[in-house]
Amino acid sequence: MTSLTSRLKGRSELGVALLLGAAGGLVLWDAVGLVTPYSKSDPVGPKTVPYIVAGLLLVCAVMLAINVLRGGHGETEGGEDVDLSHPADWKTVLPLAGAFIANVLIIDWAGWVISGTVLFWGSVWALGSRHYVRDGLISVSLSLLTFYGFYLGLGISLPAGLLEGIL
């Protein structure tokens, strides 16, 4: 067992290959379960794209695993002007994650316009902006624009929540 662990030491990219393989297997499993009526006018059918995506994911997983086992490895990100020796800035990361989590938790109840405003305003606050009123107005505008952009442009209704009947 120690020879196996010593051979795999420093080859964390195998985890990415495993993840790609699992995603490919899941897409393939889901594609096999698709039930579609036969159509003479559409010989390709809706199963084609999922099969192609699953195949490409599985091929990438196998090729990455072979490359890693042969000694290949990803290059360390140099970053433009980022000092990679410093730890993460948790004073930024945690409020930013909090804005995303708050959006997820309140979107069904409050609706997209309110939860999107919380998301956008919380994100710019976490990233350092201290123009509260201006950021709030921009956040509300972005939420309204995306709400109506999805509805009018794409025909997708985002949840209105508390503003049902007003929007």
pLDDT tens digit sequence for 70-109: 888 777 666 566 666 778 889 999 999 999 999 999 999 9
**pLDDT in the model for residue 43:** 66
| Per-residue confidence (pLDDT) for residue 5, from 0 to 100 | 62
Higher per-residue pLDDT: 23 or 70: 23
**Long-range contacts of range 137-140, CB-CB < 8 Å, 24 or more positions apart?**
140/113
Each residue's pLDDT tens digit, 32-41: 888 877 666 6
The 3-state secondary structure of the chain, one letter per residue: CHHHHHHHCCCCHHHHHHHHHHHHHHHHHHHHCCCCCCCCCCCCCCCHHHHHHHHHHHHHHHHHHHHHHCCCCCCCCCCCCCCCCCCCCHHHHHHHHHHHHHHHHHHHHHCHHHHHHHHHHHHHHHCCCCCHHHHHHHHHHHHHHHHHHHHHHHCCCCCCHHHCCCC
> Given this model, what pLDDT does residue 40 score?
61
Looking at per-residue pLDDT, the higher value among 44 and 141 belongs to 141
pLDDT at 10: 66
**Residue 53 clears pLDDT 70, i.e. is over it:** yes
pLDDT digits (tens, 9 = 90+) for 107-165: 999 999 999 999 999 999 999 999 999 999 999 999 999 999 999 988 889 999 999 98
